[in-house]
Chains A and B, each alone.
Chain A
Amino acid sequence: MSLSIDAHLALGGLRLDMQFTLEEGEVVALLGPNGAGKTTLLRAIAGLLPLASGRVVLDGSVLEDAASGAYVPTEERSIGFVFQDYLLFPHMSVVDNVAFGVRSRAAALEWLERMGLARYASARPAALSGGERQRVALARALAPGPRVLLLDEPLAALDVSTRAEVRRDLKAHLSAFRGVRLLVTHDPLEAVTLADRLIVMEEGKEVQSGTPVEVAERPRSRYVADLVGVNLLRGLADHGAVRVGSVSVAAAGANSGEVFAVVHPRAVALHRARPEGSPRNVWQGRTGGIELLGDRARVRIEGDVPMVAEVTPAALAELGLVEGSPVWLSFKATDVAVYPA
């Protein structure tokens, strides 16, 4: 089973242009900042928003084709949808919510049983905790036996303490589902733990896609680099160096063309005076924000090429850095990973 999507539409200030195919065996996460158009895309796939152009094809049968005007209404698409705030019908009991789509109380009770929620069958959704509501929403979406499962920020409405447990349950239910699975999230942890493949989306466009490892190793936008926590530079490669603005960064493996260069903050060393010795990349900047992360301190260095360095708190104390103080940074050419832009 596969779902191929070629969606183009404009909504408010957003222009959405996305094209990709989902296969049955994989769980795919759409990862992106708020306002990237992730929810809009899910709604378009479900037929709740019309496409301006493009098509949605499920297993060879056309669900929507803007060119021909073909349109299968939402209620006939066989798409299960878990909404961000779950949207359980407040006027129905939990079992009636689950039975709404499958049209059988017996089947609904079976689903509640499977989710460990049988004791809440006759309760109103308002009486349930966030995690329980999430499972009811999942049961409601799965009960009619859809061929596609769409989940919009399935854990965002939960508080942090319950999120880990619900995420584990969700992962189990996702792997038990036979069909196309697509979830939307702005939380990288959620994306990495639940999905086999990530599609990173910004401002309605795909920025990059691949397995979580691929995306983490080769970020292609500042958003992804920030998620992964690395320094991302973009410039022109020229035989062992990358020109970033006015700065030439020595980088092993840089040949030619437009490239990305990634430097891990741990590879960046800080000094009070100009360091002697081997590192090829040395320049002076100003200390920006300092952030403590467990046993590491992340120091932002302002300058022509802003960088983040990660040092131990002891080193930080020894350097005597405060915001605004001048500082030298250095990193080796071999610590720069270069790949084509």
Chain B
Amino acid sequence: MRREKAPLWIGLLAALGAAFFIIPLIGLVVRTPWGIAARSLTSADTLEALKLSLIASLSSTALALVLGVPLAWVYARVDFPGRSVVRALTTLPMVLPPVVGGIALLLAFGRRGLLGSWLAMVGVSLPFTTAGVVLAETFVAMPFLVLTVEAGLRSMDRRYEDAARTLGARRWTVFTRVTLPLIAPSILAGSVLCWARALGEFGATITFAGNFPGVTQTMPLAVYLLLETNPEGSFVLSLILLVVSLLVLVGLRDRWLGLGAA
């Protein structure tokens, strides 16, 4: 790559752009009361929220994989009437305010919701449960996975699938042994985006699942509520979220970028 010296104005604006992200992070590190950090870190409440966050975000990523990869495949491969409409509707949560998403979920799966009343009859209640948290996070995060995987499917060389068919492979075998491995980089990238979005999810979760410690109170909810009663505790939780995110980003960066470049 050719090394270039930035013109003054571009350099200044770029520095400002970088500072905009870095200064708040420094603030978080500098203002965190390290004395109580260790205690907060191991407090039961914190550990519970962290555990719940990880379980819910990983579960919703798993759910998004199970439902989202087939959805992406249908979008990429099957030409059905109204595809663009359905596709737009399932992409909507990416731009929808999450609170609105939460309300929509309540109207669908709430006790008096479209499906919720039926679910209630068989004894299933989703709002204000951990399952509800998973649902809310999946609702908001799955489109990231679907779009990434769909792009991967569209850009892959489909003649590999033809080659597999001439070797006697049926469609399911082609899908599992050829298509999925070939789009693995897209699936990984989509999963990371989806998981990160689910981990940070706030609006849809608090609207649909509420804020019950140990049941639906994920880290972002805990951080926000602590800010009113115990600001220093919320700094500590924020820092924990920051470290977890950073670890994931650093851990996946090489593989992710490496695969992206291949």
Task: Please determine whether A75 and B178 come into contact, CB atoms closer than 8 angstroms.
Answer: no
Task: Please determine whether B167 and A101 come into contact, CB atoms closer than 8 angstroms.
Answer: yes
B169 on interface, CB distance cutoff 8 Å? yes
Task: Please determine whether A80 and B166 come into contact, CB atoms closer than 8 angstroms.
Answer: yes
- How far, in whole Å, are A15 and B167 apart by their CA atoms in the complex? 28
- How far, in whole Å, are A89 and B182 apart by their CA atoms in the complex? 9
Interface members, chain B 159-198 (any A CB < 8 Å)? 159-160, 162-170, 177-178, 181-182, 184
Asked, given contacts A89-B178, A91-B181, A91-B182, whether A75 binds B160 with beta carbons under 8 Å apart, the answer is: no
List A contacts of B166 (CB < 8 A): 46, 48, 74-75, 77, 79-81, 101, 141
Would you give the shortest CB distance from B204 to chain A, in whole angstroms?
A: 36
A87 on interface, CB distance cutoff 8 Å? yes
Give a binary string over A9-26; 1 marks a CB under 8 Å from any B CB, 0 the rest.
000000000000000000
Would you give the shortest CB distance from B195 to chain A, in whole angstroms?
A: 23
Would you give the shortest CB distance from B105 to chain A, in whole angstroms?
A: 38
Would you give the shortest CB distance from B132 to chain A, in whole angstroms?
A: 38
Of B159, B177, B181, B184, the residue contacting A87 (CB under 8 A) is B159
Chain B minimum-CB-distance residue to A99: B167
Of B159, B168, B177, the residue contacting A144 (CB under 8 A) is B168
Task: Please determine whether A100 and B182 come into contact, CB atoms closer than 8 angstroms.
Answer: no
Of A43, A73, A91, A144, the residue contacting B167 (CB under 8 A) is A144
Main secondary structure of the interface of B (DSSP, over half): helix
Task: Please determine whether B167 and A48 come into contact, CB atoms closer than 8 angstroms.
Answer: no
- How far, in whole Å, are A57 and B167 apart by their CA atoms in the complex? 19
Of A77, A100, A141, the residue contacting B164 (CB under 8 A) is A100
Of B163, B170, B182, the residue contacting A81 (CB under 8 A) is B163
Asked, given contacts A75-B170, A100-B177, whether A89 binds B160 with beta carbons under 8 Å apart, the answer is: yes
List A contacts of B159 (CB < 8 A): 83, 87
Chain B minimum-CB-distance residue to A85: B159
Chain B minimum-CB-distance residue to A81: B166
A140 on interface, CB distance cutoff 8 Å? yes
Of B160, B162, B182, the residue contacting A74 (CB under 8 A) is B162
Asked, given contacts A48-B162, A89-B160, whether A140 binds B167 with beta carbons under 8 Å apart, the answer is: yes
Interface members, chain A 52-98 (any B CB < 8 Å)? 73-77, 79-81, 83, 87, 89-92
Task: Please determine whether B181 and A83 come into contact, CB atoms closer than 8 angstroms.
Answer: no
List A contacts of B178 (CB < 8 A): 89
List B contacts of A92 (CB < 8 A): 181
Chain B minimum-CB-distance residue to A48: B162
Would you give the shortest CB distance from A89 to chain B, in whole angstroms?
A: 6
- How far, in whole Å, are A83 and B167 apart by their CA atoms in the complex? 12
Would you give the shortest CB distance from B205 to chain A, in whole angstroms?
A: 37
Task: Please determine whether A83 and B163 come into contact, CB atoms closer than 8 angstroms.
Answer: yes
- How far, in whole Å, are A68 and B160 apart by their CA atoms in the complex? 30
Most A Cβ at <10 Å: residue of B159, B163, B177, B184: B163
- How far, in whole Å, are A91 and B185 apart by their CA atoms in the complex? 12
Asked, given contacts A48-B162, A83-B163, whether A101 binds B168 with beta carbons under 8 Å apart, the answer is: yes
Asked, given contacts A87-B160, A89-B160, A91-B181, whether A48 binds B165 with beta carbons under 8 Å apart, the answer is: yes
List B contacts of A140 (CB < 8 A): 167
- How far, in whole Å, are A46 and B163 apart by their CA atoms in the complex? 10
Give a binary string over B70-89; 1 marks a CB under 8 Å from any A CB, 0 the rest.
00000000000000000000
- How far, in whole Å, are A76 and B169 apart by their CA atoms in the complex? 9
Task: Please determine whether B165 and A100 come into contact, CB atoms closer than 8 angstroms.
Answer: no
List B contacts of A43 (CB < 8 A): 162
Interface members, chain A 241-300 (any B CB < 8 Å)? none
- How far, in whole Å, are A43 and B161 apart by their CA atoms in the complex? 13
Most A Cβ at <10 Å: residue of B160, B162, B169, B178: B162
Q: Which 3 pairs show the lowest CB-CB distances between chains A and B?
A: A101-B167, A81-B166, A74-B165
By a beta-carbon cutoff of 8 Å, the part of chain B in contact with chain A is 157, 159-160, 162-170, 177-178, 181-182, 184
Q: A43-B162, A91-B182, A92-B181 are in contact. List 14 more A-B contacts (CB 8 A).
A: A48-B162, A73-B165, A74-B165, A75-B168, A80-B166, A83-B163, A87-B160, A87-B163, A89-B160, A89-B163, A100-B169, A101-B169, A141-B166, A141-B167
**What are 24 pairs between A and B in contact, CB < 8 Å?**
A46-B162, A48-B162, A73-B165, A75-B165, A75-B169, A79-B166, A80-B166, A81-B162, A81-B163, A81-B166, A83-B159, A83-B163, A87-B163, A89-B160, A89-B164, A89-B182, A91-B184, A92-B181, A100-B164, A100-B169, A101-B169, A140-B167, A141-B167, A144-B168
